[in-house]
Structures are given as C-alpha cells and as structure tokens.
C-alpha cells in the first residue's frame, strides 16, 4: 500500500428559486407534477417558511475551496420529475448551498441532477462516487457519470461504500479502481480524491494507505455516544488535515417497524423528525471538525437541516449532556467494538 502512496506523489448566469418558479412552475410544473404533488410541496414549504440562508462555509481540508456546511445529497432528486429536480436544486442554491454529492447507485439521481445543475456548474462543488473495485469497470463508470452529470470534470471523486477487507484489497491492489482515480486526477478530470466508508477499521486503513483529500463518513450523535463509532475516524482525518464530510447527522435509530418506513422511503434508517431533537443532532455534527454535513435524501429533512444551519451555534456543555442522555437506550445504526 505504501507503493500506492508513492505513486500519488508523482502525480452564467444564476437564477433564483423564485425566478425558476415564475418561468417554469406556473404552467409546466402544474402539468407535469400534478395538483396533489404541488400541494405536498406547498405544505413542505410552509413548514420551512421564511427568509433564511446557510451563510457559513468551511475550508475543504487542506485546500482553499469553501463548502457550505450543509450539502445536497443526490438521493433527494432520485425518482423525481425533471421539473421537481430543477426546483429542488434551485431552492438549495438560493439558500446558500454549494456542495452537491451523488453516486451512480442512487437510481436515476445522476440523470436528474446533471441537467438541474447545468446553470450553476461553475459555482458549485460537485462530488461523485464509484462503487466499482476493478480498473476496467471503474474507467467505464467514470465516463458514464460525467456524461449523466453533464460535466467534463468532478471536484471530488470517491471510492464508494468501502466496508470490507475485500473492498480494500480489490480497490487498492494493482489493477484496482484506485489506479483510475489517480490517473483521472493527473489528467485534471477530477480535482480531489476521497472515499466513503461505513467501517471504522477500513476507514483507518484507507487513510493510512493513501493521502486522500477527504473522507465521507457517518458523524452521528447516537453512533458516537452509544456505539463508539466515529470519534477515532474523525480524529485521524483531522490529524491528516483532510476534509471531513459528514453523513447520517439526522439518523436516530434502526426502523422498529418496516411499515413506518413508508413515510420516508429514501431512508433505510429512522430519521429524526422531532424539530428540537433534529436541531440538537445537526448542531452536534456541525460542532465536530467537519467541513459539511449531508442530510438524509428527503427534501423535508434537507429543508429542516438548512434552516437549522442558517442559525448554527456550537453545542454548549449542557446541551452535550442532553444529547448524551437522549442517545441512551437508542440502538445506533453503526457500532464499533
């Protein structure tokens, strides 16, 4: 793996959400989306009503790029109409979001996000991922992602869902996907390299094997205090001056009843829906040394996270004790022995 590190060493105009609604929402959206869907969108808008903006941006690790402290997860636009996808992206940008994350495993999200981001591409930080582990498959996947996203470069390209020892060996050995990432960076097709992981062991091992620019990892209150999952990864990433992109800030626990999942079909875990608890959870994650947090792929939860972040303050010592107490008795979605 040290050889891999040595290889690396060689190595328009914007439109606001209101303008969008004026130009497309009146006739096109009413026809394409339907009255019922528009009503649901209006209800969600009412809940998060008010003029607010996510103004805080943080430095992306050792680089000068500044990212909004809330990121837009591509799952939000998965299975949505093109009109809805464009409206959601326009809304996010209008509220100060400049970091967007997507993956080819998110259904048709790349196909929906690409056209929606076109008017803003030069002003946003676009991250994508690959679940492929072998070089030949990864080369093809990168080309397809660029085509779907309607761009000729990515700001960040990541190994996706690195979880097992087999993932690590296949990705990092000769003929693995890591060779594609390094070559793409050398050619200027991607600016930065990173990985996402749901394993403490593999995350630590990857950071030791290669000098990645960032890590995408769960940074969650229940995992931290009731599963010992995350602190050691954040500490190592911080010591390497990496960008830390946080997942699962608004995760609460495992679904107790799969029937309940129908209300949030894009969440494989039970998300936080209580407003006060959600505020504590998002502020907990943002109180860690993270660059940005990506909320669950549900537009209602994303809007709530944006509103919380628009008035972000670090947790106080008393609030940290409250968060620890709330975590007691909850089953974390990830644990570390």
212 and 294 Cβ atoms separated by less than 8 Å: no
Look at residues 157, 77, 153, 149 and name the one whose alpha carbon lies nearest to residue 118: 149
pLDDT value of residue 9: 43
**Average pLDDT by stretches of 10, the chain with 337 residues:** 44 39 37 38 51 96 98 98 98 98 98 98 98 98 98 98 98 98 98 98 98 98 97 98 98 90 94 97 98 97 98 98 96 94
Q: What phi and psi, each to the nearest 5 degrees, are found at residue 10?
A: -90, -10
Count each helix (H run) and each strand (E run) in the chain, helices first. 15, 12
As a whole number of angstroms, the distance between CA 38 and CA 35 comes to: 5
What pLDDT, on the 0 to 100 scale, is given for residue 179?
98
245 belongs to a structural domain? yes
- Write down the pLDDT at residue 259: 84
Pairing of strands 72-73, 66-68: unpaired
CATH number at residue 39: 3.20.20.100
Nearest to 172 by CA among 189, 159, 191, 157: 159
In a domain, 166, yes or no: yes
- What is residue 47's predicted lDDT score, i.e. its pLDDT? 54
Question: Is 335 domain-assigned?
Answer: no
The answer to whether residue 333 sits within a structural domain is no
Q: What is the pLDDT of residue 6?
A: 42
Within a domain: residue 337? Answer: no
Tokens encoding 106 = 């998110």
- How many domains would you assign to the chain? 1
- Containing H/E element for 292? strand 292-294
Q: Degrees (nearest 5) of the Cα angle 219, 47, 114?
A: 60
- What pLDDT does residue 18 have? 38
Cα separation, 201 vs 203, in Å, equals 6
User: Is residue 45 situated within a structural domain?
Assistant: yes
C-alpha to C-alpha distances, 142 to 93, 103, 303, nearest whole angstrom: 25, 10, 30
In a domain, 332, yes or no: no
Range of the domain at 92: 2-327
**How many whole angstroms separate alpha carbon 220 and alpha carbon 248?**
6
What integer pLDDT is reported at residue 318 of this predicted model? 98
């Amino acid at each position: 793996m040290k050889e891999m590190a040595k290889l690396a060493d060689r190595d328009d105009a914007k439109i606001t959400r209101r303008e969008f609604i004026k130009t497309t929402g009146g006739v096109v959206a009413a026809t394409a989306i339907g009255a019922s869907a528009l009503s649901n969108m209006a209800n969600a808008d009412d809940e998060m009503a008010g003029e607010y903006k996510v103004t805080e941006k943080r430095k992306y690790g050792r680089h000068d790029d500044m990212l909004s402290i809330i990121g837009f997860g591509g799952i939000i636009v998965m299975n949505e109409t093109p009109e809805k996808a464009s409206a959601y992206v326009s809304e996010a940008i209008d509220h100060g979001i400049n970091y967007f994350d997507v993956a080819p495993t998110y259904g048709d999200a790349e196909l929906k996000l690409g056209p929606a981001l076109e008017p803003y591409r030069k002003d946003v930080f676009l991250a994508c991922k690959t679940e492929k582990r072998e070089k030949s498959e990864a080369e093809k996947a990168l080309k397809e992602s660029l085509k779907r996203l309607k761009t000729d470069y990515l700001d960040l390209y990541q190994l996706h869902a690195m979880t097992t020892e087999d993932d690590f060996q296949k990705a990092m050995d000769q003929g693995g996907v890591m060779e594609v990432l390094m070559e793409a960076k050398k050619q200027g097709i991607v600016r930065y390299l990173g990985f996402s992981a749901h394993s403490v062991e593999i995350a630590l091992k990857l950071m030791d094997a290669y000098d990645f620019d960032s890590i995408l990892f769960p940074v969650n209150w229940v995992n931290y205090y009731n599963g010992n999952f995350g602190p050691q990864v954040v500490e190592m990433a911080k010591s390497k001056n990496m960008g830390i992109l946080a997942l699962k800030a608004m995760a609460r626990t495992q679904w107790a009843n799969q029937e309940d999942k129908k209300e949030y079909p894009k969440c494989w875990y039970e998300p936080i829906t209580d407003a006060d608890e959600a505020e504590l959870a998002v502020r907990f994650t943002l109180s860690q040394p993270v660059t940005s947090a990506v909320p669950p792929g549900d537009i209602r939860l994303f809007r709530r996270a944006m509103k919380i972040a628009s008035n972000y303050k670090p947790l106080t010592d008393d609030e940290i004790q409250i968060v620890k107490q709330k975590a007691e008795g909850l089953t974390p979605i990830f644990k570390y022995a």
